Amino acid sequence: AVCSMGNGTSRLYSVLAKTLSSGAVSQHQDCLEQLDSARLDPLDPKDLLEECQIVLQKRPPRFQRNFVNLKKNTASNHRPIRVMQWNILAQALGEGKDNFVQCPMEALKWEERKCLILEEILAYKPDILCLQEVDHYFDTFEPLLSRLGYQCTFFPKPWSPCLDVERNNGPDGCALFFLKERFELINSANIRLTAMKLKTNQVAIAQTLKCHETGRLFCIAVTHLKARTGWERFRSAQGCDLLQNLKNITQGAKIPLIVCGDFNAEPSEEVYREFSNSSLNLNSAYKLLSPDGQSEPPYTTWKIRPSGECRHTLDYIWYSQHALNVNSALGLLTEEQIGPNRLPSFNYPSDHLSLVCDFSFSQDPDRLL
């Protein structure tokens, strides 16, 4: 069934409305074929935002978050590169497995939740977008974001838990999007992470991009490590495998690196220490929001399940601190904004907060190596 998108009858939503059903992708091949020609037409992001707001007019307004300026008087001769990291919550898991006991099922309806996700992306206008738990890639994100000027890549989990949910939309996975007007793709690698030499169900995408404005190369990676307590050693092994892959791709840190991910690991875990102490000289961008620049935020996910309330710091944007500067970072939602029922909610579409940073290239990239 196609959901009405409000009063708007724009050419945009005459196409987009076809993406609103939450059935399996295989049931929508006719829809996807019809979208092929339409996706070539560029979209005005303002038009898309306006259409999303029509759909969301009965919901509370989106939360206001402010960027914190972190620039330390370092002159930059190029536009900053805005990177957004977000576990958007797979639709099949939100509706069928995650048991958010304080979140009404009505708040999880895909027809509206997808518009909340798009609204968040459109509000911050990232040059690079790194997403996890994407299970509507082919029928929603790729058709739309490609028309907004992004080059799109998706790598699904081999055994996605979404496939266990009735009326699923296919497997979830990681997705990476970058603006073609700003970057050129030099190399792309889909990585199936290993642990103890065994292939696992977790994946990563790593792409080497060339910045048109500066001519500089850098690598952007997105990943989603194994969830749940009791799997700390497994996550550590996955992190080691990812780091080794990234060392090869960046030629041992010669190419600057940004790694976005839901690591499913608190800063106290071994995998966090591995990234902190890596020879790639990585730092976690969101530490810079703390007074001493050494502490992660108190939470990046906050939800209530039957087992109780879960407030954790699991999501990170790592960067090569010798080659990149963090100009600013988007502040997190406060406890008051999140509210007593936590996430997701009618206000916010995911159980994880989006992280957004503006980066610039260092003038002296070898300074801290």
Q: What digits encode the pLDDT tens for the residues 295-340?
A: 999 999 999 999 899 999 999 999 999 999 999 999 999 999 999 9
Domains of the chain: 83-329 (3.60.10.10)
Shortest CA distance to 12 belongs to which of 57, 62, 50? 50
Q: Residue 18 pLDDT more than 90? A: no
135 vs 142: CA distance, rounded Å: 11
Tell me if 296 sits within 8 A of 287, measured CB to CB: yes
Tell me if 169 sits within 8 A of 92, measured CB to CB: yes
pLDDT mean across residues, the chain: 89
Token representation of residue 197 = 């030499």
Higher pLDDT, 27 or 107: 107
Query: pLDDT tens for residues 226-250?
Result: 999 999 999 999 999 999 999 999 9
How distant is the alpha carbon of residue 152 from its chain centre?
Answer: 13
42 vs 35: CA distance, rounded Å: 13
Tell me if 206 sits within 8 A of 261, measured CB to CB: no
Q: Residue 22 pLDDT more than 70? A: no
Higher pLDDT, 38 or 131: 131
- DSSP-assigned beta bridge partners for residue 132: 87
39 vs 145: CA distance, rounded Å: 9
What angle, rounded to 10 degrees, do the helices at 110-124 and 45-55 form? 140
Q: Residue 4 pLDDT more than 80? A: no
pLDDT cut 90: percent of the chain above it: 81
288 vs 320: CA distance, rounded Å: 14
Q: What is the mean pLDDT of residues 54-72?
A: 92
Q: Residue 17, class by beta-carbon neighbours within 10 Å (0-12 exposed, 13-18 middle, 19+ buried)?
A: middle
Q: Residue 67 pLDDT more than 70? A: yes
Tell me if 175 sits within 8 A of 188, measured CB to CB: no
Q: Residue 38 pLDDT more than 90? A: no
Q: How far is the CA of 256 from the CAs of 95, 222, 304, 327, 362, in angstroms?
A: 39, 15, 38, 16, 10
Q: What is the mean pLDDT of residues 2-28?
A: 43
